[in-house]
Structures are given as structure tokens and as C-alpha cells.
Amino acid sequence: MNFSQWLSTVKLKWAIFRSDDRLIVIALAGFVGVCSGLAAVALNRALHHLGDFAHGLHHHWWAFVLPAAGASLSALFLNTLLKERAGHGVPEVVYAVSRYGGLLRFRSSYSRLISSWLTIGSGGSAGPEAPVVMSGAALGSNIAKYFSLKERQRITLVGCGAAGAIAAIFNAPITGLVFTVEVVLGEWRAFNIIPIAIASVAGTEVSRLLQGNQIAFGHRQYSIGLADIGASFGIVVLATIVSVIFGRLLNSMHHIASRPNLPHWLRPAVGGAAVGIIAIYLPQVLGEGYGAIQDMIHGNFTAGLTIAVVAVMAKMVATALTLGWGGSGGIFAPSLMVGSLLGLVYYRLLVMLVPSGAIAGEGCFALLGMAGLVSGILQAPLTGIFLVVEITGSYEVILPLIIVSALTSTFCYYIEPGSFYLRDLIEKGQYMRPGTDARVLSDLSVRELVETDYLTVPGNMLLKEFIEVIQQSRKFLFPVEDYADARYLGIIFIDRIRPYLFDTQMHTVLMAEQVMETNVPQVTPDDELVDVLNIMENARLSSLPVVENGRFVGMLSKSVLLDHYRKELIVQTGI
């Protein structure tokens, strides 16, 4: 190869290099991870401070009002001050990713942080993970917007934000990565993995730098024997039951709360006050509960079995009260706590039946319970497994862990349609994973597919003239319009008018209006393709008229749809 040929190859390679979308995403991923990590650390610190402050006030008789006040303030802040109609964090991110390529409002990057700080810091029973994920995702989205990135790149950065946030909160990079892929993005793609991994690591590093290499829960060693593996099946059953109950409780509390007609800032106060009252007897239900979880894992939970059982239910009720009545926060941390309590209870029941040396300690079962709940209610088994492994550093637990996670999430899947986060979306039919039929169809639209090159005939055209029209045309159907106001009337199908075509006596007697079909279902240009396809199936038609405002626009045919569908699917799931 001579010099000029070599030069042109190099130029081509450079152009491809520059046009590759992945590079700028990789470059920004670290930055996004750092930002979301900072947000997570900030919330964590702020919660500690506010929590300590609130704790100092607990001996007063009016302390039960604190969660109420916090929840009210957070609702006021969110809805009145920022006018951000709250979705619930993670579902909103999933919705934005699946429908709009991850477009999130900028205000979401700080609004949830502040509102959940108010709710949780004052004692509300909720988790800080969902708000931090939302913040991180919004940060990623807006950084992508600042750099005018394309949709695919923006989605990746949203994932980076979420991963960095979770990684920072738990000091667990792999968990951040797995959570993002499993819950937020829903797909594992070569395009996404590197940037998300970078963001996870960045978030973790930020957290370690600012908070030290402490994790929420310390390292432990456990020795797992066959008996423990057998015992884990028991946890599966319990975790499944409790996950389902927890989910249903949250939903029904939401319904109960929407019935009384309270101003939107007063409603959370009711829930918060109830939580405060519960807390008088069981102070462990307040806040996110990391402290209690830590105790349980280290085997330091001193309260008795009955209290533990009551605590399980109380925590679930408290969380439902906080969140169902309008407080701001997530269910991740409460699930962890309920799970560990569950594991604890199970262990204590088990030791009554089995000599205590045979099975591993209380802490181990608390961990298994945690993983079980996460897998059950979030239906994210991998996240559960990796979370426990990373935060406790104990790899021996992996075998019972896998059993518990996988089985619990499978059983819960049979009972509930999907993860708690996504239930709303699934119910509304808005849950779309990339590369699925619904996703492909949501990108296409009737407007893009409609063929407009059809010749229309006026209703009063005689069959004789119509035959000449057929002669000149290549089509098999002809839309008919009213001769006066061009309103769409119906369609003439060539194959259905055969009897009249060859009867010359009818030629001067029949008009287009009389031989057309009028009951062909119509669609408008704004209809959803899923509905259009259903209509086509039910009516057994391969082509439907598209009518807007009474005027014929064009025909939508299955063959054109198939062609576009294939190309869209290829491009959507491609590299």
C-alpha cells in the first residue's frame, strides 16, 4: 500500500472513531458517578445529623409529632415549592428510560434528596436509596442534555447515575452495577457495561474518600453447613409470604390514604403521626433502620422473640404509613430491615427445635432474610445476592444466598406481576423493556407508516367510470369520499365487487357509494400501534384506513408495518 492509500484508511478509521458514540459516554461516566456519589454521601450525612437531632428530642411527650412534621414539610417542599408532582423515584426513572430515552427534569436531581431528608430524618420509615437513585439518574440525564447527547447515550448516563448512587450508599460497586442493569435499564449490553462499571467505581470511591471505608454493615465470617442450606428453604417460604404481604400493604395503604379529602400537605402528617405513635413503643421502626440491621447481623439484637415478631409487622406498617400517606422515600432499606428481622425470628424459632450448634449464627440468617426480602419485593435476585456478599464480605454465605434469592423471586413472580417499583407501570401497560414488542411498537407511529398514495373516488362516480380508474391503477382498494365535502365514506375492495364489474347493465346504474364497504374499522394518526394491530387481527384485515377529522389520509398495511418493524427491532437491539 502506498502512502496515500494508507492515509485514506487512517482518515476513515479516524472518522469512524470520532463518530462512535461510546467514547464520550465512557469519558463522562466517571464524572456522573462522582456527582451521584456526592449526592448519596450528602444525603447520608444530612440524615445522620437530622437523625441525631431528632433523637435528642425523643424523650418529650410530643415527639410523635416529629415524623408528622417532617413528612408534611417534605410534601410542602416537593409539591408546593418545587411543583414537582411526585412519581415514586425508581418507577419514574424506568418510565423515562423506556419511553423518552431517559429524559428527566433537572429539579429531580435535588428535590427528592431534600424531601426524603425531611421525611426520613424526622423519623419516617423509608429508605434513602430510591431518592438517591432518582437524583443520580436525573444528574446523568441532565449532564447528557448539557452535552447534547443522543438518546442511547443519555440512557447509559442515566444508568451511570443510578449505579454511582447505589454504589456510594452501600459502598458496593458491583451491587450498583447489577442493580442498574437488573432494575433500571433492564438490559445487559456491551454499550452500557463499561460506563456503568466506571460510574459504580467512581461512586464507591467518593463514598470511601468522604466517609471512610466503612460499610453500612461490617464484615463477618460464617461457617455454612448442610443444615443451613436446608434451613434456607424455610426462609424462602417466609420471605415470599412477607414480601407479598408487604407489597399488598403498601398498595392498600395508598388507596386508604387517598380517600379522605385532605390537603396534600396534611395527608403525610397523618401517616407520620401514626408512625410517631408506634415509635413510642418500638423506637426501632423509625428512620431507615441501618442501625438495627447492623445489630442483627452482628448478633447483638437483644430484644426477645415476641418483640422481634411484632417489630416485623410494625416496621411494615410504619413504612406503609409513611410512604402510602405521601412521605418521600423508598422501600429498599425498610425491606432490608424487615428481612433481617424475619431472618432473626426464623432463627430463634429454629433453635427451639434444633440444637443451636448445628446451624450458623443469628446474623447469618438475618442476612439471608435480607436477601430474601430484596429478591421478593423488588424481584431483583442478583442485586440481593451481590449486596449481601459485598457488604458483609462473607463469601461462604453464597450458596444459601443463591437458594434464597432465586427461589423467593421466582415464587413472588408467580404471585405478583412484577417488582414493587414497577407495579404501577405494569398496570398501566407502560412497562416496556428494550427489544420487546411493546417497545418497538411505541417507537413506530401510524404517522410514519401510513401510505398516502391512494387515489380516492367521489361517491357519485358511476361504475362505468370507475372501471376506467381501475384500469389505470395498480391498487386493489379505493377509498370513497363524499362528492360535496370530501368526507371519508368507505372503501371499495376490488375483489368484492366482481359480480358487478362484469355485468355491463350495472355499469350505468351503480355508483361508487353503493358498492363500497362502510364498516371497515378506522384508525386515526394518533392511535397506538398496539391497538391498531389488535383491530387488524379482530377484523381479519391486512390494511386499515387512516382517517383524521373525517378526512381520508391513507392506508396502514401490515406489510409495510412488518418491514419497518424489522428494521426498528434490528436498530433498537443492535450495537
Partner 1 sequence: MEERLLHVFRNTPLGRETLLQSLYFCNTLKVGLHIYVPQTTQFLMYFDHDAVQVDLDSSYMTLPDCAQAHAAELAKQYGLTPTFFTPKNFTASQLPDIPSNFNYMCCPRSITDLSSKLGLGYIGPKVRRIVKSSTFPVFLTSGVFKGWKSVAVFYGGSSNANKALSWGLHLSRISGFPLDMVTSVREHSDDYFDQELQEAGLYDAVEQHVRHWHKIAESPFEAHLYNVPHDALLVLGAYGHGLIKDLLFGSKMETIQSWMPNNILLVGPNCGFRGA
Partner 2 sequence: MSLTISEVAARLNLPVETVFRWVRQGKIPMQHSRGTYSIRPEILARWALEHKLEIQGQAHEAEIGDEDHDFDSILLAMQRGGVFYDIEGSDCETALKSTVRHIPNIEPSDCERVFEKLLEREHLASTGIGNGIALPHPRSNPDIVLEMPQITTCFLSGAIPFEAIDGKPVRVLMVLLSRSTKQHLAMLSKLSYYLRDTGFRNHLLTTPSKEELFEKISTLESKRD
Strand partners, 462: 511
Binding mask 122-161 for partner 2 (x = CB under 8 A): ---------------------------xxxxxx-------
Q: Give phi and psi for 562, each to the nearest 5.
A: -60, -45
**Alpha-carbon gap, residue 532 to 545, rounded angstroms:** 11
Q: How far is the CB of 548 from partner 1 (least distance, A)?
A: 7
Nearer to partner 2, 155 or 235 (CB): 155
Q: How far is the CB of 12 from partner 2 (least distance, A)?
A: 6
- As given in the structure block, the three cell numbers for residue 120 are 426520613
- The SS3 assignment for 166 reads helix
Angle (nearest 5°) at CA 562 between 556 and 565: 105
Candidate list 84, 187, 396, 443; residue touching partner 2; CB under 8 A: 443
Strand partners, 557: 543
528's contact among partner 1, partner 2, none, with CB below 5 to 8 A by partner kind, is: partner 1
Of 9-17, 284-292, 422-430, 456-464, which segment contacts partner 2 by CB under 8 A? 9-17
Q: Judged by CB under 8 A, does residue 574 bind partner 2?
A: yes
Q: How far is the CB of 149 from partner 2 (least distance, A)?
A: 8
Q: How far is the CB of 518 from partner 1 (least distance, A)?
A: 21
96's contact among partner 2, partner 1, none, with CB below 5 to 8 A by partner kind, is: partner 1
443's contact among partner 1, partner 2, none, with CB below 5 to 8 A by partner kind, is: partner 2
549's contact among partner 1, partner 2, none, with CB below 5 to 8 A by partner kind, is: partner 1
Q: Give phi and psi for 327, each to the nearest 5.
A: -75, 165
Q: Is 174 exposed, middle or buried (0-12, 13-18, 19+ CB in 10 A)?
A: buried
248's contact among partner 2, partner 1, none, with CB below 5 to 8 A by partner kind, is: none
482's contact among partner 1, partner 2, none, with CB below 5 to 8 A by partner kind, is: none
Candidate list 79, 456, 543, 572; residue touching partner 2; CB under 8 A: 572
**Alpha-carbon gap, residue 227 to 231, rounded angstroms:** 6
Nearer to partner 2, 471 or 519 (CB): 471
- Taking CA atoms, 290 is separated from 296, 297, 334, 383, in Å, by 10, 10, 9, 18
Strands 457-458 and 477-481: parallel
Nearer to partner 1, 104 or 201 (CB): 104
For the segment 31-90, give every residue that binds partner 2 (CB under 8 A): none
What one-character DSSP code corresponds to residue 462?
B
Q: How far is the CB of 165 from partner 1 (least distance, A)?
A: 20
513's contact among partner 1, partner 2, none, with CB below 5 to 8 A by partner kind, is: none
- The SS3 assignment for 338 reads helix
**Alpha-carbon gap, residue 151 to 236, rounded angstroms:** 40
Nearer to partner 2, 548 or 568 (CB): 568
**Alpha-carbon gap, residue 401 to 505, rounded angstroms:** 83
CA-nearest of 443, 461, 456 to 567 is 443
Nearer to partner 2, 191 or 483 (CB): 191
Strands of the sheet with 488-493, listed across from one edge: 457-458, 477-481, 488-493
- As given in the structure block, the three cell numbers for residue 278 are 408506634
Reported as type and span, the H/E element at residue 555 is: strand 551-557
104's contact among partner 1, partner 2, none, with CB below 5 to 8 A by partner kind, is: partner 1
Nearer to partner 1, 84 or 465 (CB): 84
Strands 477-481 and 488-493: antiparallel
For the segment 12-31, give every residue that binds partner 2 (CB under 8 A): 12, 15-16, 19-21
Nearer to partner 2, 25 or 73 (CB): 25
- The angle that helices 22-56 and 151-170 make with each other, rounded to 10 degrees, is 40
Of 84-92, 294-302, 315-323, 564-572, which segment contacts partner 2 by CB under 8 A? 564-572
**Alpha-carbon gap, residue 290 to 427, rounded angstroms:** 32
Nearer to partner 1, 381 or 554 (CB): 554
The residue assigned the cell 442493580 is: 179
Nearer to partner 2, 58 or 433 (CB): 433
Of 10-18, 229-237, 425-433, 532-540, which segment contacts partner 2 by CB under 8 A? 10-18
**Alpha-carbon gap, residue 319 to 335, rounded angstroms:** 9
DSSP string, 131-147: HHHHHHHHHHHHHHHHT
Give contact residues for partner 1 (rule: CB under 8 A). 83-87, 92, 95-96, 99-100, 103-105, 107, 145, 148, 151, 428, 430, 445, 447, 450, 452, 525-526, 528, 548-551, 553-554
239's contact among partner 2, partner 1, none, with CB below 5 to 8 A by partner kind, is: none
- As given in the structure block, the three cell numbers for residue 225 are 453447613
Amino acid occupying residue 25: V
Tell me how crowded residue 538 is: count the other CB atoms within 10 A of its CB. Answer: 9
Q: How far is the CB of 100 from partner 2 (least distance, A)?
A: 10
For the segment 154-193, give every residue that binds partner 2 (CB under 8 A): 154
Reported as type and span, the H/E element at residue 561 is: helix 558-573
Q: How far is the CB of 14 from partner 2 (least distance, A)?
A: 11
Q: How far is the CB of 553 from partner 1 (least distance, A)?
A: 6
Residues that bind partner 2 in the complex, under the rule CB under 8 A? 12, 15-16, 19-21, 101, 149-154, 443, 447-448, 564, 567-568, 570-572, 574-575
